[in-house]
Amino acid sequence: MLIKLPKASDCHESDVTPESFYLSRRSLLGGALAGVAASSLPRWASADEASRYADVEAGRAPSWFAEKLPGTKWQAVTVKDEAITPFKDATHYNNFYEFGTGKGDPATNAGSLKTEPWSVVIDGEVAKPGRYALEDFMNPYQLEERIYRLRCVEAWSMVIPWIGFPISALLKQVEPTSKAKYIRFETLQDPKSMPGQRSSFGLIDWPYIEGLRLDEAMNPLAILAVGMYGRELPNQNGAPLRLVVPWKYGFKSVKSIVRISLVSEQPKTTWQSIAADEYGFYANVNPTVDHPRWTQARERRLPSGLFSPNVRETQMFNGYSDEVASLYTDLDLRKNY
């Protein structure tokens, strides 16, 4: 069992957070910051949250987020015995082609993304369609911290402490009709703020589209995230709202979502449209089915350098078999990659 569903008795932050990335609340409040005027603290919801992870750059949280954050169910799901990737790596080694194809481009360019105000459209096969301001959209949900592995199809991986809520809770709110079989997610399309969408060499037909089967979306591990490392999402990580499905390759986890549609047919996803023989709809992490250009048997766990590549074996469903394998018993995973 690699996921620890915590009982109060066995939930220790040190289980998932290596010493170097963890400052105890007591040492922070009693030590370095004691006597510092509250107004000079970074804009955290509270000093408590600032102490969860070290070296986290403070952002400008929207007020709805700051108000919700203290009620977060911390470490609702964790990864045992694996270090959390430093914030710096998780925010400076990104794929977000709307801001360029280089790994550093999103960190450099995503400042132009305007995340407030933000609205989300819910449409298609639902009893309650609508367009919601993000703060209203988020109103029904309690935030949970979910510490998940993220495995990119390019064979690198990280461990990221997301903050979000299960998609199953959203589906309960919007009430899919009996015709709804899939859920489709659409990223913002705004060439003015997204330089990658202005590029004339682009092979991508914007906006970026992803999708899940409805039963996959209902799985308790599938979340919509609004934060990470105890703060709101940085723009380069898909602010203000993104999908996180940890048993699938990273490209399924679509960023900066503006539209969520319940549909009866399997949506055509961005990467399928680019190269259907390389990127399938399911995209479950699978060490036994190689990508044409790279093996999926192993991965580089970031931070990874020339002299310490930090290579590890890739696990079936990225280590989440116990939770998700039952979704695929009727599927040939070689054909449905």
| Amino acid occupying residue 124 | G
Q: Does 209 bind Mo ion (CB under 5 A)?
A: no
Nearest Cα neighbor of 150 from 214, 210, 225 is: 225
Q: Does 196 bind Mo ion (CB under 5 A)?
A: no
Angle at 196 between CA 190 and CA 201, to 5 degrees: 125
Q: Which range touches ligand MTE (CB under 6 A), out of 11-19, 75-83, 249-257, 329-337?
A: 249-257
| From ligand MTE, Mo ion, none, interface partner of 96 (C-beta below 5 to 8 A by class) | ligand MTE
> Looking at 208, 229, 279, 320, which residue binds ligand MTE (CB under 6 A)?
208
d(CA 316, CA 33): 44
> Looking at 95, 197, 236, 286, which residue binds Mo ion (CB under 5 A)?
95
- Measured from the CB atom, the residue of 45 and 150 that comes closer to ligand MTE is 150
- Measured from the CB atom, the residue of 4 and 103 that comes closer to Mo ion is 103
Q: Which range touches Mo ion (CB under 5 A), out of 138-146, 149-157, 204-212, 265-273?
A: 149-157
Q: What is the b/e burial string over 29-44, where b = at least 16 CB atoms within 10 angstroms of the residue's CB?
A: eeeeeeeeeeeeeeeb
Tokens for 175, please give them. Answer: 């009430």
> Looking at 115, 193, 237, 314, which residue binds ligand MTE (CB under 6 A)?
237
- Measured from the CB atom, the residue of 50 and 258 that comes closer to ligand MTE is 258
Ramachandran angles phi, psi of 156, nearest 5°: -120, 160
254 is in an annotated binding site: yes
Cα–Cα separations (whole angstroms), residue 332 to 77, 303, 322? 29, 34, 18
Q: Does 157 bind ligand MTE (CB under 6 A)?
A: no
The Cβ-side half-sphere exposure at 332, using a 13 Å CA radius, reads 2
Q: Does 251 bind ligand MTE (CB under 6 A)?
A: yes
Find the shortest distance in angstroms from Cβ 4 to Mo ion.
26
Q: Does 251 bind Mo ion (CB under 5 A)?
A: yes
d(CA 185, CA 119): 14
98 is in an annotated binding site: yes
- Measured from the CB atom, the residue of 119 and 315 that comes closer to Mo ion is 315
Q: Does 302 bind Mo ion (CB under 5 A)?
A: no
- Residue pair 310/302 in contact by the 8 Å Cβ criterion: yes
First to last CA, the chain: 24
- Measured from the CB atom, the residue of 180 and 285 that comes closer to ligand MTE is 285
Q: Report the relative pairing of strands 182-187 and 209-213 from DSSP bridges.
A: antiparallel
Ramachandran angles phi, psi of 50, nearest 5°: -65, -25
Determine whether 319 is exposed, middle or buried from the number of CB atoms within 10 Å of its CB (0-12, 13-18, 19+): buried
278 is in an annotated binding site: no
Q: Give me the 161-180 binding string for ligand MTE, x by CB under 6 A, dash otherwise.
A: --------------------
Q: Does 155 bind ligand MTE (CB under 6 A)?
A: no
Residue with tokens 């969520």: 260
- Measured from the CB atom, the residue of 13 and 154 that comes closer to ligand MTE is 154
Q: Does 187 bind ligand MTE (CB under 6 A)?
A: yes
Q: Does 229 bind ligand MTE (CB under 6 A)?
A: no
Nearest Cα neighbor of 13 from 311, 222, 227, 230 is: 230
Map the footprint of ligand MTE across residues 85-114, applying CB under 6 A: 94-98
Binding site for Mo ion (CB under 5 A): 95, 152, 250-251
Binding-site residues from annotation for Mo-molybdopterin: 94, 97-98, 152, 187, 237, 242, 253-255
Binding site for ligand MTE (CB under 6 A): 94-98, 150, 152, 187, 208, 237-238, 250-251, 253-256
